[in-house]
Structure 1
Amino acid sequence: MENYPRFIGLLYYQHTPNSVEPKWFKWDMSYFSGNSMYIETTTGHDIPVEIRNNTRSWFGLSEIVCLAEGQTPPVEMPNHLAAVSDLNIENAGAFGRLYSEALMSAIKSWAANEMTDEQALFLSFFARNGLLPNSTDQLKSIQPLIAKYREIESGIPVPTRSPGVLDRSGVDHALFERGNHKTKGPSVPRGFLEAFGDRQYETTESGRRELSSDLVTSSASLLARVAVNRMWHHLFGSGLVSTPDNFGKLGRMPSHPQLLDFLAKQFIANDWSQKSMIKSMVLSKTFQQQNSSQHDDIQLVDSMFGRYPIRRLDAESIRDSILSSAGTLEATVAGGSVLETSNRRSVYVRVHRNNPDPFLETFNRPDARSTVGNRPTTNVPAQSLTMLNGSFVVEKSRIFAAQVLSDVELQTDKNRIIQMYRRAFSRNPTAEEIVHCVEFLEELRIQNASLIGSITSLDEEIGAKREAVEDLLEPIRKRLMESLDNDKDLIEVPKPVSAWDFETDFRDQVGNLHGTPFNGAKIENGSLVLTAPTAHVKTVVTDSDIRVKTLEALVQLDRLNQGGGGVITVQTPNGLIFDSIVYGERISNQWIAGSDGFRRTEDVEGLSEKEAHTAPVHMTIVYSDDGTITIYRNGELYGQPYKSNGPVEFKKGTAQVVFGLRHGTPDGNKLLDGRILDAKLYDKALSRDEIEAIAAGHSGFIPEKLVLAELSVDDRERVSKLRLEIGTLSDSLAELSEKYTERDLDTLVWREFAQSLFNLKEFIFLR
């Protein structure tokens, strides 16, 4: 790429105007020496790469100057009056009259749409500086007109953009010798491919119109032949020319040349209708053949399309089939691209160069940076593992099973099996398949009953040991709390703007940021439980600005071996901008102040977390006015504070609070596995003393070291031993729970049955 200067996209210089007053800006074009280049001016929503979200934007451009080295650049001209008048000034009175006349002339020219650039600069100076009335408060009479204008303007839909082609004046380009653009050979005239005739385009335009005409004429049906071969390839697994990307000398000869010519002519005769051509192919006897063949030479049969070939579905079709079987496929047509977590068809899933969808990539979705006519079809272990353990497949299997179980008309195993076969394979199961499926279900019930028993037993054992720990700690904690209550020197802590105690619901106990649970988030024993795979809680949008702030949470993890989950987050509703208490995202077992693209995130070199899965920890992050971010754990400084480029200001109505999710949509490693006992949001940067006081005086919580210090040596050893056992049991439980999230036997059995259908070859192969 020759070290392109990356200002926007990969190789574009850019300038975004940020002033209403015209200003010169300059680019150093020395990098492009010896190359062709152009200047493009667009509004924000029309920029070719890295599109701006502002759908309504404008700019003014009056002059572009190209200077050779050593030339004097243009300068700003502050004397606006001189630009609109050439009269001599004799005295102050004449000076005032001249200003008045020039201003009136500019206003009249503006009203008549005849204003020059100089007059526009002159008039805008008076409007910007309040020397002319320029607001509805000053011009009461036009308020109704302005309101009506804005009402009409807001109703105008934002145009849908689509790439287009402008046929401008053309240029014959030089031949690059050995592909080097700096070693130019003779100029090559514009024309059609020489292999199909040496017709050159005698035109002052680009020649694109002539090229397109040559491509679609019946006398040169190359384009039609290539197109119908691609369609045949997609329907039959192999084209009539088995090298769809190469119709040249190095490509294969067509297996049925007369058929290829016939289809190409039919395609042209039907006005290049792909729908008509596909219909013609699928109604043919060739397409309707069965897969079996009595011929000895199977390879010859396949090459001559003597039977329908067994072939695997492409990546997008496999994903769509899973969504369709689960009953979650959204059939909405058109619209923008969507995240991979969406239920829309895979053709709408965004293609992110640096973050491809792992499911589609596993099944050979091609690189979007190049054209691929013949996709590779691999058979690798990663595909089987994805269908067995992939979160997407497991989640859709769960939904598939839940829908079948909730159908009141399906009360027997046989009826449920038939319904699931219809949805997965578009056919009824045979009698033999039903027998095998019933036997398989019985095996699953026996195996999973034992598994659920093990999970329940682990749950109970962990609960009993935690109760034993609490029996030892609670009396000490209460005594310490009483001594704190009697302390007259307690620091007064500011009141939070929002607080959630999760005792009975998700409501904000101080403000109005009430939460809504998603995907299995629930209240249990006075805490927010986030053990379901994508469980999280989101609040309504904020009713005030948030800039300087403090995030506080009392949190307990279900397991230490997790990374990237958010405890409490302040984010824009789309999740693109956020600040969050995050566990283990950049370094395992460490807490960080998470942010969008790590813009305000640094590793603070805090100690690795070793206790959060056995006891709650009190986490606080302070975002100060000067950008300093400070993290506290259990009231003590965690790592080192650092200076960020923040704080970010979240305007009223443009932010929300999220629990259990780092930001955005519930996917990847953004989710927390654990429980939140308490959370608060302050609109102030709390001091170290205030945070120590909060941690020490937290309801039901005293810093661990104070409680342990009051225990006897024997009790301290017993607590240590119990917590070690809790950690071991929790790891075992987490390993089981990660794979088996259901605790209901029927739900687990039918989820596994649904997933087994997805793993049958018939589901991903056509025959």
Structure 2
Amino acid sequence: FGRMGEKPSHPELLDFLAVKFSDDFDWSMKKVVKYLVSTDAFHRSSEPPADVATKDPENKLLSHFPVKRLEAEAVRDSLLLASGRLTRDLYGAPADGGAPRRSVYVRVIRNNLDPFLSVYDSPVPFSTTGRRSETNVPAQSLTMLNNGFVVGAAAQFANAIKGETDTERIQKMWLTALGREPSPEESSAAKNFLDQMRTKTDEIAAKRKTLEAEVNELQAKRNGILKPIREKLEAELATKNADQEKKGPVNFNPIGHWDFSKGTEDFVGDSDVNLVGGATIEDGALIVGKGIGMTKPLGQNLKAKTLEVRVQLNNLMQTGGGAMSVQGLAGEPFDSITFAERQPKRWMAGSSGFRRTQDFGGTDEIEANTQPIHFVITYAEDGTIRGYRNGKPYGKPYKTGVQEYQKGDSQVIFGLRHGKGPGTGRQLYGKIFEARLYDRALTEQEVAALGTGKLDFVPESKIRDALTDAQKSELKKTEMQIAKLNADREALGTGLGEGEVWKNLAHSIFNLKEFIYLY
């Protein structure tokens, strides 16, 4: 109305309502609203008559109910209500968008608006909004399909609704989400939807079983190629171990060897250990904590390397100490067998500013406070770093840079991560029994021999090298087939559990137009 507005389409109706408002309803808006919602016009369907497009395209005669989308807050609250999560607490502090409180309590920050409410035209608080926009854009449908809040609500909705039969559960879901029972056609479609997903899961399980049988058959073929060679090499290994027992401990030619049961001397080179601070030699071990051990400068350059140490800790709660390290004489750079610097009770390859450090992902240390353990870290030329505890791989290897140390300007230290003297936070508290330094990265088999005193296993690389060309070709073909079958099996997935099946139905109900539109 007014100068700029349109003329009323039904002025007589307005006059009629005005008279009823003043005379019959005694100026009561409550009575007016009650009267309006009980009229035939208000109860009309949203389905337009057949000839409305020509007679009344703008629906000025109100021949049918205009479809109207729920406001942003109502859409969000409907999801929470259906999922059984909506809390009706009054007042209190603002909540995040993921909280189960009503949307009126969702925090409004101008530069960080809730994305779910925004996509459904929630007002932007930069200026006054007299009337909200009502858009219908693809982002709204995509939100209902992919938004984590909606998907989570669907899962909770499905879990909250129970029933003895599929039909009963479907009826309850329709009543909860849409306020009505499903029609026979809708109920049938929902049951077909459930059955299709269950059937698909059964088909996937059958296909996976078939693929697994094929993989097992090929694995047996692969083992048939490798087993004779492995058994032959293991027999040769047993002979070598018997000979080694006669010769004494294994020797992989370290460039430095310190046995503290015999003193501080380097039994291979000239890098004898100097005791610094309160470090002592007692009961066949270097006692560190109050002090450290530092060698004389190394007599050769060092790039690829292996650090080996037998160590016992005073306690497992200490952090950041180094059992054995190689460092520049100034305390930097360094590479170290370090305990619990980044993760409690975990061994790691410490380095300058963590530049060559990643977590091995090994297990927590639970024994080193009661008995000595053997720990080795190898540093390959290509930057691959591996950890070993008591001769076995510790966690997983990783690849990073490799640090080179110069002859005469580097040294080995014991009981300290790095530095020129004892320092808080870098000190190890415990006993060091023996250590070796190598100028190459030892193999997994060699490290196992260091840990046990003999060569325990034949690495698969050696088995493959012993195959004939025909065997190598057949093995490669078999392994490619196994890899393809495993990839096919992974691509199939595992199908849907019963909970996922019902969650998908709940999600489908949320995506019905009737859920967010008034008809």
Provide TM-score, normalisation by structure 1.
0.34
Q: Which has the higher contact order (CA 8 A, sep 6+)?
A: 2
Provide TM-score, normalisation by structure 2.
0.47
Q: State which structure, 1 or 2, has the greater radius of gyration over its C-alpha atoms.
A: 2
Structure 1 or 2: more strand by fraction: 2
